[in-house]
Chains A and B, each alone.
Chain A
Amino acid sequence: MDWTALELSLRLAAFTVVLLLPIGIALGRLLAYRDFRGKGLVEALVALPLVLPPTVFGYYLLVAFGAASPLGQLWQQATGRPLVFTFEGLLFASVIFNLPFAVQPMQRGFEAIAPEVREAAACCGMAPWRALLRVELPLAWPGILTALVLSFAHTLGEFGIVLMVGGSIPGETKTIAIAIYDRVQAFDDLAAAQMSTLLLAISLVTIALTFAFSRRVGRRLG
């Protein structure tokens, strides 16, 4: 059992979710309520990770984050560390490839709020930020929670992109999914089985809890 890899995966998933919460709310809300030029393109870009092979996606991220790229150089200057093959680089990649899992459920959550209810918030004298906190977020909450759980579970399981962008550096970029592959390659079936079972259990429990919670909220809102 590679506890370091598990800890790293959980840390990566937690940071990803924390970063995706505001990004997902802002993007999901924008796509739900606003019409603008290029909206179709933005939606397509957000959905891209769903259809692109992880290796292809990972390759482009590697190029974009690499020491030769403007982004990689900027990061190197600001932090003194490279962006590829580091935890930070992995975190950036994780946020990007989880965008569809975070944005789409949140977008649906915001879309599900009746336009009159949002108008009513304005007519009740709520400024936009107040309406967001008191009306929109509580009502879109099931969608937001689904988004966070999906992103969390998906981060734990992602393999191809992690390998491309992070490599397999223990304690830095070697996540549990890679550790499992590593153990299988080394014919350590017991460790692979233990880690797989653990990952399965974590994924199942989080998703079951989300479904149960969403149903309860659904009943409450009638």
Chain B
Amino acid sequence: MSRVEGLQVVLRQVGPIPLDAAFDCAPGEVLALVGPSGSGKSTILRSIAGTYAPAAGRVTVGGETWFDGDRGLRVAAHRRRVGLVFQSYALFPHMTALANVAAAMGEAPAVERAERARALLALVHLEGLEQRRPAELSGGQQQRVAVARALAREPRVLLLDEPFSAVDRATRQRLYREIAELRRGLEMPVVLVTHDLDEAVMLADRLVVLYRGRTLQSGTPQEVTTRPASAEVARLVDLRNLFDAEVAARDPADGRLLLDWAGLRLEARAGPEGATAAPGDRVTWVVPDGFVVLHRRDRPSRGEHENPVAGRIGMLLPIGQTAHLTLLPDHAPEQRLHFSVPLHVARRNGLEPGVAAAVSLLAEGIHVMPSRGE
């Protein structure tokens, strides 16, 4: 068998926690498993680490098989070279930071372990705190000890289970930067579990969207957040502009689609998923907020010819310096379009509930999917 690099995971079971997941992760790649709570993310991570035994499937790391349901093979957790950063960090409370890190270094001589543990703690910016116990460290510092401990084993795969959920926002932002910096030096596959889509987009090279233990889509953050594979994924990645339409026509030359959206004609770029759509087919389409462009009274632009939609402002919700708006289109007011503009733009254009406004839906942002079948 040829040497396979990276991590390959296939997991299947009916219960108690349903799993139907398949993904892989290349060396040096950061893969984020995203999905709501209860979607099986942590169970998948534990199946890789070996502290959970799924019913069927296969886990291989760098060509080495750790789990194979068919062959009844299951390597014990302590024999798998993994680094796992727990959500609660799970540091050993009776050991100092240094001892926590050294505890993951096996049977090497004590002096050598202490030296390497010191170097790892320095890597995560914890010089001077080696002799503190976990209870004497802040949440952010505990998280760094946990990262250092996970790396201490020179793991063949690094697993991070919601590692940022227990720290405050400011600390989290700092830790994001540090992890992003740290990962450049890592050569093993890194799997990050998170329910926070923004976090996943920021840190990961690829996302795997999970729902009830099932992998719905995997792709780059850009792909998943702008070209979801299904309406289900669109909802999970918080794309709110999700509508149904009928294919009115299709341009055989460039593959562009003409959609009939409750009577309004829209031009859409047909992606790979929309390529099979034929006139008369029901489809579901989505447009991310960023592709909904306001027609500004103060600054008209040429883009306004593209899929113009006229309507009235339904709701205006200022959050920070951003105004979150809905537009109730004149042709179908129940089909609310969500978009956002800087707050000053909303003010300058006199946007408020009930006022007439128009937007353009950029054709390149309209993504056509199979019908969600309502």
Q: Which residues of A contact B (CB under 8 A)?
A: 114, 116-117, 119-128, 131, 134-135, 138-139, 220-222
**Contact check: which of B50, B88, B94, B150 meets A139 at CB < 8 Å?**
B94
Is B104 part of the binding interface, using a Cβ–Cβ cutoff of 8 Å?
A: yes
Give the docked Cα–Cα distance between A134 and B152 (Å).
17
A123 with B77: CB separation less than 8 A: yes
**Would you call B269 an interface residue if the criterion is a C-beta within 8 Å of the partner chain's C-beta atoms?**
no
A221 to B77 CA separation, bound complex (whole angstroms): 26
**Residues of chain B lying within 8 A (CB to CB) of residue A120:** 84, 86, 90-92, 149
5 tightest CB-CB pairs across the interface, nearest first?
Answer: A222-B135, A116-B90, A124-B104, A122-B77, A120-B90
Choose among B77, B83, B90, B153 the residue that contacts A114 (Cβ–Cβ < 8 A).
B90
Contact A119 B78, CB 8 Å, known A125-B106, A135-B92, A222-B135: no
B250 at the interface (CB under 8 A from A): no
Min CB gap B153→A, angstroms = 6
CB proximity of B16 to chain A, nearest CB, Å: 13
> Interface digits, B81-114 against A, CB 8 Å rule (1 contact, 0 not)?
1111011101111100000000110100000000
Question: In the complex the two chains form, what is the Cα distance from A138 to B95 in whole Å?
Answer: 10
Question: What are the residues of chain A within 8 A of B81 when measuring CB–CB?
Answer: 125
Q: Confirm or deny: B49 has a beta carbon within 8 angstroms of a beta carbon on chain A.
A: yes
* A-side interface mostly: helix
- Report how far A131 CA is from B103 CA in the complex, Å: 10
A222-B135 Cα distance, complex, nearest whole Å: 5
CA distance A119 to B77 in the complex (A): 8
| B51 contacts partner chain A, Cβ-Cβ < 8 Å | yes
How many pairs of A and B residues are in contact by the CB < 8 Å rule? 77
Contact of B94 among A116, A119, A128, A220 (CB under 8 A): A220
Which A residues are CB-close (under 8 A) to B136? Answer: 222
The answer to whether B90 and A221 have CB atoms under 8 Å apart is no
The answer on a CB contact under 8 Å between B103 and A123 is no
Contact B51 A119 (CB under 8 A): yes
Whether B133 lies near A126 (C-beta < 8 A) is no
**Contact status B78-A116, CB under 8 Å:** no
| 30 A-B contacts (beta carbon < 8 Å) | A114-B88, A116-B88, A117-B90, A119-B46, A119-B49, A119-B51, A119-B77, A119-B84, A120-B86, A120-B92, A121-B92, A122-B49, A122-B50, A122-B77, A123-B77, A123-B78, A123-B82, A123-B83, A124-B78, A124-B103, A125-B79, A125-B104, A125-B106, A127-B78, A139-B93, A220-B94, A220-B135, A221-B94, A221-B135, A222-B133
From A125, A134, A138, A221, residue with most partner B Cβ within 10 Å: A125
Q: What B residues does A139 contact at CB under 8 A?
A: 92-94
Chain A's closest residue to B149 (CB) is A124
Contacts of B84 in A (CB 8 A): 119-120, 123
B134 in the interface (beta carbon within 8 A): yes
Also in contact, A222 and B86, with CB within 8 A (given A124-B149, A138-B94):
no
Q: Is the CB of A220 within 8 A of B133?
A: yes
Q: How far is the CB of B304 from chain A (nearest CB, A)?
A: 55
> In the complex, how many angstroms separate the beta carbon of A139 from the nearest chain B beta carbon?
6
The CA-CA distance from A183 to B90 in the complex, in Å, is: 57
Q: Contacts of A135 on B, CB cut-off 8 Å?
A: 92
Which A residues are CB-close (under 8 A) to B82? Answer: 123
Q: Mark B356-367, 1 if CB is under 8 A from A, else 0.
A: 000000000000
A122: which B residues are within 8 A, CB to CB? 49-51, 76-78
Please, what's the 1-or-0 string for B149-161, where 1 marks a CB less than 8 Å from any CB in chain A?
A: 1101100000000
Please indicate the chain A residues that have their CB under 8 angstroms from the CB of B78 in the complex: 121-128, 131
Contact B135 A126 (CB under 8 A): no
Contact with A along B131-150 (1 / 0, CB 8 A): 00111100000000000011
Name the residue of chain A whose CB is nearest to the CB of B101: A124
A114 neighbours in B (Cβ, 8 Å): 88, 90
Given contacts A125-B153, A127-B78, contact A222 B51 (CB under 8 A): no
Tell me which residues across on chain A come within 8 A of B149, comparing CB atoms.
120, 124
CA distance A138 to B136 in the complex (A): 18
CA distance A126 to B135 in the complex (A): 23
Contact partner, B103, options A116, A134, A221, A222, Cβ 8 Å: A134
Is B103 a contact of A126 with CB atoms below 8 Å? yes
Nearest residue, chain B, Cβ from A219:
B135
Assess whether A119 is in contact with B135, with CB atoms less than 8 Å apart.
no
Q: Are A124 and B153 in contact (CB under 8 A)?
A: yes
Interfacial chain A residues near B94, Cβ < 8 Å: 138-139, 220-221
User: Roughly how many angstroms separate A2 CA and B216 CA in the complex, as a whole number?
Assistant: 79
Within the complex, the shortest CB–CB distance from B61 to chain A, in Å, comes to: 14
A128 to chain B, nearest CB (A): 7
Question: Measured between alpha carbons, how far is A116 from B78 in the docked complex, in Å?
Answer: 14
Least CB separation from B159: chain A residue: A123
Give 7 new A-B contacts, CB below 8 A, not counting A119-B49, A220-B135: A116-B86, A119-B84, A121-B103, A122-B77, A122-B78, A125-B104, A134-B92
Scan B40-53; emit 1 where CB is below 8 A from any A CB, else 0. Answer: 00000010011100
A165–B94 alpha-carbon span in the complex (Å): 43
Instruction: Judge whether B51 and A123 touch: CB under 8 Å.
Output: yes
